[in-house]
Amino acid sequence: MSTVMKKEEAHRLVEQMPENATWDDLMHRIYVREAIEKGLADSAAGRTKDVAEVRAKYGLPK
């Protein structure tokens, strides 16, 4: 599920990069931004679990 990117947002992202940024740097920023947007959408839609529930599932300490 990819999110739609507006050209203005892409331009702003590129403009914020340092002069010596690489294509890999740009791809990393795009990946991170998309991951955050997906996480926020999941949270808004109620598709998240409480940390205590996940820890209990894997036998981790609270």
Assign 3 to helix, strand or coil.
coil
Give per-residue pLDDT as tens, 22-36.
Answer: 999 999 999 999 999
Q: Answer whether residue 1 shows pLDDT above 60.
A: no
* % of the chain exceeding 70 in pLDDT: 95
Q: Match 């947002």 to its residue by tokens.
A: 9
